[in-house]
Structure 1
Amino acid sequence: MPTRTGTRLTARDLAADTPATRDRYIDLLRVASLAVVVLGHWLMAAVTDDGRVGNLLAVVPGLQVLTWVLQVMPVFFFVGGFAHALSYRSRPAYAEFVRGRVRRLLRPTVLFAVVWFLLALPLQSGGGGLTGTALRLVTQPLWFIGIYLAMVAFTPPLLRLHRRWGWGAFAALAGGAAAVDVLRFALGVPYVEFLNFALVWLAVHQLGFLRADGRLRVPWALAGAGLAGAAALVAFGPYPLSMVGMPGEKVSNMAPPTLALLCHGVWLVGAVELLRGPGTRLVARARVWRAVVAANGVAMTAFLWHLTAMLAVYGALLALDVRLPDPASPSWWAWLPVRVALAAAVTALLVVVFRAVERPAPRPPRPAGPAAPAVLGVTLSLLGVLGLSMTGYGGLLTGRTATLIALPVTAPQALALTLAGWLLVELRR
């Protein structure tokens, strides 16, 4: 019998209580995709002695081809679609579904945003060098939280379309993404490209619905079509080679997403499905499964704080007058494992400090309540975290703004939206 700790279960308890019907490979993909994203950010950071943070892929453009394997955020959104389909079918009340999926996501996000806001206020006077860079960079990964919140909010209507049209629903989203790129690149229609933040990522999310229904039966065809499509678009279209954003580029495959990125996502989904057999056998091992369960319990906290940890390591090195080698030089490559290990150690320490909020204590069952507060809560928090990802915490005292859906927003305003949305999501009645 597993040992209980208060009202919460330990990772060992959860691993032991896992039902035989659970798809453990999906949990492995969730952890692995976030781990690759975190590692990618650490590897790409090219910090110089004056505190500037560049991109290794810009220093060595030949490495950009690696993003075709290492840009795995589509896998996380695919896994999200699978989980959301099963979750909504088990509790089809909209308000309860939204609260159940969003609550665990928003709690560590709100804590991260508030802690960094309190840190940023006294750091404003030293806004140059690495400090200024940190104030701008640490909130950038919050765009991912905003997109994921939108996926949760749209799951019920998109599931209805999926039940009716199946692959047709995915094709409609993919066709919409293609039409947006035609309007953008061929006809020069302004602002239309921002629609692809929804169309591209929701199309990948829709593949998760198909996976939940067992309808991804020929993954080799999916992988082949996606890879061929992405290669053709990059070779003959206006799309860059890199599947992550690059400094100074006129066109990015990521911000906003393009049809090439959607093809890349399709290729990755096909690839991970091809690895399903060996992956399932791997995660069936007791020790591996316990590690996956433990990692899933802190994954969002680690994701939120990993850039903070990396910048703290570089800040400490600069404070100790350690000369940083030139990016991509032989000494830079030699010391890379040490810097990554230090960033991982600091991230682990931050996880120990902040992990308690990621798994809320269980609540007794109550009526689901009206959907309106949940919808409003998700909307406000979505706008808030997207605003924070764009503004950063630099320029707090000068009222620095960023444009969010045609409206200027400051970091305090974005934080207020995030807090208001979180409170509405937590509201039970």
Structure 2
Amino acid sequence: MGSSVRELAGATPVTRDRYIDLLRVVSLGTVVLGHWLMAAVTTGGVDNLLAVVPGLQPLTWLLQIMPVFFFVGGFSHALSYRSLLRRRPEGSTDPVYAAFLRARLQRLLRPTMVFVLVWGAAALVLQLLGSGGGLTGVTLRLVTQPLWFIGVYLAMVAFTPALLGLHDRYGWGAFAALASAAVAVDVLRFAAGVPYVEFLNFAFVWLAVHQLGFLRADGRIARPALLAGAGLTAAVALVALGPYPLSMVGMPGEKISNMAPPTLALLCHGLWLVGAVELLRARGARLVARPRVRATVVAANGVAMTAFLWHLTAMLGVYGAMLALGVPLPDPATGAWWAQAPVRICAAVALTALLVSVFRTFERPAPAVPSRGAGGAGALSALGVTLALLGVLGLSMVGYAGLLEGRTALLIAVHISAPAAVAMALGGWLLVERAGR
């Protein structure tokens, strides 16, 4: 394994932006560590450390780093789609959109569908055996929640060709249009009280951050200090003077969340993060140029999605083992809890590594298949990615608890069950695979 990673790192073209690879790994790693720290399991249930100790909520302005991942995604999607366009023979009718979706989603949807099917089967067996309560029930509800990120990312991939076309024509104007739409949504939401309009910002906020990745790909973020300063100043002002909460992650029971649905404050938070990582670009590039660091980043990128999918399973598995062995679970944020935290995290790292070793093969890209230029492939791919993102988002909301009781959750005005969500996601993935071939 070590030699193959070194060979892969050495084979990486010198033109590749290794700093982008580093940002991808660091952003996902920060999310995983944040989840491990925030979820505090006790015999009475699961608490959120940030709710128990509100004074820690300012840390979310550093640890809520998901905007950086979506920014990196925009950069990568722009390069990938343009590469496909350049390689297409002149006059060809090959379905570039279908090929683009398949290429970008292979390492995303394949490990996701394995995760969904494995946990679905386990949930059904556990509940048939009458083991759906206690920590098991909490686990069945929580393990699918991070899938919202997969759903949003699927939407970003799907909209890349259209939004990249707008970027090529208008540049910063395309970003400004998305940001203005996010502003309008929050005005309608908070000033005019228009119901349900806030859900539009799942698109406008995250696609605006994604659009910054296009600008980065073209070298058009010339003043990162200005971007960071303006974003941070605006975010502070919105939280201090507006209806926005301090935390940049969702808190249990709060009426307004900056995350779900995203708010203008979260967009400004994303601006300052993007500006900050661009300011660190030269230092980061020098760091990742070191052979050992580069090899580590290459290895981590190869299993990042698998680790992200299974990290909550590992954490809850550690807590389950502690309960089974009679290890006391201290109250969150007490001295005993903090003293125990390094041991829990090390155990979660070990269990995640074990799960990655089992499931990492599904993150490897499948062999390329020549395009046949089939008619309607683009439309079929669009339908597939739509079904997949709706299914994944639905499953993130409903979870696997209450399978036998027919539990549902509201997804865009429609109640959806876990089996229906799985069927949509699986069917969408198969459509994307078939059309992309």
What's the TM-score once normalised by structure 1's chain length?
0.97
Give SS of 1:47's match.
Answer: strand
Q: Residue in 1 aligned with 2:43?
A: 49
Q: Which deviates further from its counterpart, 83-92 or 370-379?
A: 370-379
Equivalent residue in structure 2 for 1:99, among 93, 98, 102: 102
1:330 aligns with 2:335: yes
Instruction: Provide the C-alpha distance between the structure 1 equivalents of 2:368 and 2:433, rounded to a whole number of angstroms.
Output: 11
1:65 aligns with 2:68: no
Instruction: Provide the C-alpha distance between the structure 2 equivalents of 1:290 and 1:390, rounded to a whole number of angstroms.
Output: 37
Give yes or no for contact 2:106–2:366 (8 Å, CA) kept in 1: no
Q: Residue in 2 aligned with 1:235?
A: 240
Instruction: Provide the C-alpha distance between the structure 2 equivalents of 1:323 and 1:290, rounded to a whole number of angstroms.
Output: 39
Q: Residue in 2 aligned with 1:90?
A: 83
Instruction: Provide the C-alpha distance between the structure 1 equivalents of 2:6 and 2:243, rounded to a whole number of angstroms.
Output: 50
Q: Residue in 2 aligned with 1:386?
A: 393
Q: Residue in 2 aligned with 1:306?
A: 311
Moved over 4 A (4+): none
1:166-201 Cα distance to aligned partner (Å, 9 max, x none): 001111100100110000011100000000000000
Give SS of 1:126's match.
Answer: coil
Instruction: Provide the C-alpha distance between the structure 2 equivalents of 1:269 and 1:314, rounded to a whole number of angstroms.
Output: 35
Q: Residue in 2 aligned with 1:7?
A: none
Give yes or no for contact 1:147–1:382 (8 Å, CA) kept in 2: yes
Q: Which runs of 5+ in 1 are unaligned?
A: 5-9
Instruction: Provide the C-alpha distance between the structure 1 equivalents of 2:392 and 2:351, rounded to a whole number of angstroms.
Output: 24
Q: Which deviates further from its counterpart, 409-418 or 120-129?
A: 120-129
Counterpart of 1:111, as a letter, is: V
Instruction: Provide the C-alpha distance between the structure 2 equivalents of 1:368 and 1:247, rounded to a whole number of angstroms.
Output: 49
Q: Residue in 1 aligned with 2:22?
A: 28
Deviation at 1:16, TM superposition (A): 1.1
Counterpart of 2:431, as a letter, is: L
Deviation at 1:34, TM superposition (A): 0.1
Instruction: Provide the C-alpha distance between the structure 2 equivalents of 1:118 and 1:228, rounded to a whole number of angstroms.
Output: 48
Give SS of 1:409's match.
Answer: strand
Instruction: Provide the C-alpha distance between the structure 1 equivalents of 2:341 and 2:324, rounded to a whole number of angstroms.
Output: 19
Instruction: Provide the C-alpha distance between the structure 2 equivalents of 1:97 and 1:364, rounded to a whole number of angstroms.
Output: 12
1:190-205 equivalences in 2 (<5 Å): 190-205=195-210
Deviation at 1:373, TM superposition (A): 1.7
Give yes or no for contact 1:196–1:257 (8 Å, CA) kept in 2: yes
1:269-290 Cα distance to aligned partner (Å, 9 max, x none): 0000010011000000111101
1:351 aligns with 2:356: yes
1:186 aligns with 2:191: yes
Give SS of 1:46's match.
Answer: strand
Deviation at 1:365, TM superposition (A): 2.9
What's the TM-score once normalised by structure 2's chain length?
0.95
Give SS of 1:309's match.
Answer: helix
Deviation at 1:364, TM superposition (A): 4.0
Give SS of 1:255's match.
Answer: coil
Equivalent residue in structure 1 for 2:366, among 361, 367, 373: 361
Counterpart of 1:38, as a letter, is: V
Instruction: Provide the C-alpha distance between the structure 1 equivalents of 2:331 and 2:360, rounded to a whole number of angstroms.
Output: 35
Deviation at 1:368, TM superposition (A): 4.8
Deviation at 1:107, TM superposition (A): 0.1
Q: Residue in 1 aligned with 2:421?
A: 414
1:114 aligns with 2:121: no
Identity over aligned residues, as a percent?
73
CA RMSD of aligned residues (A): 1.3
Equivalent residue in structure 2 for 1:39, among 14, 22, 33: 33
Give yes or no for contact 2:71–2:213 (8 Å, CA) kept in 1: yes
Instruction: Provide the C-alpha distance between the structure 1 equivalents of 2:258 and 2:2, rounded to a whole number of angstroms.
Output: 48
Give SS of 2:416's match.
Answer: strand
1:108-143 Cα distance to aligned partner (Å, 9 max, x none): 000000000000012222222111100100000000
